[in-house]
Structure 1
Amino acid sequence: MTDLILHHYPESPFSEKVRLMLGAKKLAWKSVHVPRIQPKPDVVALTGGYRRTPFLQVGADIYCDTALIADVLEHVQPDPALYPLPLKGVTRIFAQWADSTLFWAAMAYSIQPKSAAAMFPDEATAQAFLVDRKAMRTNMTQLRAADATSAYRSYLRRVAHMADEHDFLFGAEPCIADFAAYHPLWYTRRRAPVMAGILQATPSLLEWMDRIEAIGHGVSDTLSAEDAIQVAAQAQPLAAGQNLLVDSAFQDDHGIPLGSRVAITAESFGAEPTEGELVAATRTHYSLARTDDRAGAVHVHFPRIGYVLRKADGT
């Protein structure tokens, strides 16, 4: 198999989720650091427009969204399992809640004026980051700080009840639920330490976080963005059914046949479209074929859940 190349940056919470999953599965990977804010020309060369962080590259196949990346890693290395069979459904549902509701409460609580000094080197950098993220939230309503604080406290207590019972949230071993719940709390604890006092009321949760942190990130080597683009240019995207996504049967919920020119956007945060030829639409994911002057022919993959498929003309 071609190298796993993770495009990320150190402070990204969703990147921390993937780094820990790579560590749990003891997978070697290549590390490409991307900018925190626009412009991101090297990112767009591979994704065609999608600019959320992180994304995973395997040759000329680009996997967007950590939910889909988790499926890829599970296929590459099934053991230890992210989705333990007796709990496969409930851990997925919990992870979806953690990646959305819990995450946004944690972010609205953690990113406040008094935490900015620890997060950013100067006021100009802080403002540029906030302006960039505001533009990505076009279709979202952000919680006010006080409301986020109340919600976050409640969510922490609820997750702590799970940590009281086991070493990890659903048993003796970590699963997708642990990695999804951990990364928003990691952001509070490690990226906004002045705000981390909220975690002290749930000591079992802190102990659980220590166990997750001890998993580590596995073994990685640094790769430049230009070299990653060259990897794509020198490879060919894999056909549906031969890539790292196990399902390939066409599921038509839109009346859009394969081969159509389409655009895919996120439902809410980061709704920049990626356009291309629809080459797969299965029960779990979409795949678009596109060509870039630098990266050549690539396939860009998205999960169905959380993304909107339309014809390129907007219909």
Structure 2
Amino acid sequence: MADLILHHYPTSPFAEKIRTVLGFKQLAWKSVLIPPVLPKPDVVALTGGYRRTPVLQIGADIYCDTALICDVLEHIAPVPALYPPLHKGMARTLAQWGDTTLFWTSMAYNFQPKGLADLFGAAPELGKAFADDRRAMSTNMTRLRPQDATGAYKSYLRRVSETLGSQDFVMGEVPTLADFSLYHPLWFTRVRTPSLAGILELTPAVLQWMDRMAALGHGTPEKFDAESAIQRAASSVPASLLTDSTFQDDHGIALGARVTIAAESFGAETTEGELVAATRTHFTLRREDARAGTVQVHFPRIGYVLKKVETPA
């Protein structure tokens, strides 16, 4: 199998989610560090516009969004499983809640003045650049104020604690997808904004579970550079690892049409290309790039908007 190449940066919570999944599955991977803010020319050469973090590259196939990346890693290494048969639906449902409601609540809590001082105290100009970048990514989003987020975060931590009970992990004695999606927002609080991490001490069971998650490690990373990753794409032939292929037409858009895909809300930059797959779980675009060559860019169906590119009359 071609190398797993993860484009990420150390402080990204969603990248930590995938790094921990790689540890759970004990996979080797190549680590390409990318900027946390625009410009990201090397990322865009591969994705065509999408710039959220992380991105998984396998040859000339580019997988966007951690929900889809987890599906790919499950295909590559089905044991240990992220989606145990008895808990598949609930694991995905809890994971979606963790990646959305819990994540945005935790970030609103983390990005109050003490948290910002932890992150950018020595470099306020970086803090301003980060804030400006994320403001541009979150146009039209409703964001919680830190005061409101604090109470909600405490409630959500209690819910996680109650769900754990006396179990080692959220769904039982082994981790599932739900654990990784609930873990990464809390990891950010604990590791990246330690001045605010006292909120976690209200739920000791959560802290103990976080220790078990951290012990999974990050697999076996190897440093890799962006230019080599782009050359790898240019010298490879696209070959998706996504297993579902039945066309599901919910838009009246035929395969082969010129389309754009963008996230519904946060980071809504568009990627344009030829629609080559629209299944019950994902979309795939084929696109050409001067540096990366012919690539396939894959998105989950949930959370993304597909539109046909209308040609002028």
Equivalent in the alignment of 1:75: 75
CA–CA distance in structure 1, aligned partners of residues 94 and 155 of structure 2? 16
Q: How does 1:232-247 map to 2 (within 5 A)?
A: 232-238=233-239, 243-247=240-244
Structure-to-structure mapping, 1:184-195, within 5 angstroms: 184-195=185-196
* Structure 2 match to 1:114: 114
Q: Percent identity?
A: 64
Count of paired positions: 311
Specify whether residues 314 and 106 from structure 1 end up closer, same or farther in structure 2 by C-alpha distance, changes over 3 A only: farther
Structure 1 residue 165: Cα displacement? 2.7
1:79-228 alignment, distance < 5 Å:
79-120=79-120, 121-228=122-229
| Structure 1 Cα separation of the partners of residues 110 and 118 of structure 2 | 11
Q: Aligned AA for 1:22? A: L
Distance in 1 separating the partners of 2:135 and 2:310: 26
* Residues 1:313 and 2:310 aligned together: yes
> 1:288 corresponds to which residue?
285
With normalisation by structure 2, the TM-score equals 0.98
Establish whether residue 19 from structure 1 lines up as the match of residue 19 from structure 2: yes
The alpha-carbon deviation at position 314 of structure 1 amounts to 9.5
CA distance in 2, matches of 1:309, 1:165: 43
Deviations 1:49-100 (A, max 9, x none): 0000001000000000000000000000000000010010011000000000
Given residue 53 of structure 2, which amino acid in structure 1 is its aligned partner? T
Stretches of structure 2 lacking an aligned partner (at least 5 in a row): none
Q: Quote how far apart the aligned CAs of 1:163 are.
A: 2.0
Give the residue type in structure 1 aligned to 2:44.
V
Q: Are 1:260 and 2:257 an aligned pair?
A: yes
Q: Secondary structure at the match of 2:132?
A: helix
Question: What is the RMSD of the two structures over their aligned residues, measured on CA atoms?
Answer: 1.1
Counterpart position of 2:35:
35
Report what 1:278 is aligned to.
Answer: 275
Task: Work out the CA distance in 1 between the residues paired with 2:89 and 2:111.
Answer: 32
- Could you state the TM-score of these two structures normalised by the residue count of structure 1? 0.97
Partner of 2:299: 302
**Secondary structure, in 3 states, of the residue corresponding to 1:288?**
strand
CA drift at 1:139: 2.8
Identify if the C-alpha distance between structure 1 residues 194 and 96 changes in structure 2 by more than 3 Å, giving closer, same or farther: same
Q: Deviations over 1:92-126 (max 9, x none)?
A: 00000000000000000001112222112311110
Q: Match of 2:26, SS?
A: coil
Closer, same or farther: CA 186–291 of 1 in aligned 2, 3 Å: same
1:309 partner amino acid? L
Q: Distance in 1 between matches of 2:195 and 2:117?
A: 10
* Cα distance in structure 1, aligned partners of 2:144 and 2:9: 25
Read off the aligned partner of 2:258 and give its amino acid letter.
Answer: R
AA in 1 matched with 2:7:
H
Which has the higher mean CA deviation after the structures are superposed, 139-148 or 211-220?
139-148
Shift of 1:3: 0.3
1:299 to partner: Cα distance = 0.2
Look up the equivalent residue of 1:178 and give its one-letter code: D
* Cα distance, 1:144 vs structure 2: 0.7
- State the AA in 1 paired with 2:249: D
Alpha carbons of 1:189 and 1:44: their partners in 2 closer, same or farther (altered >3 Å)?
A: same
Corresponding residue SS for 1:139? coil
Letter in 2 for 1:5: I
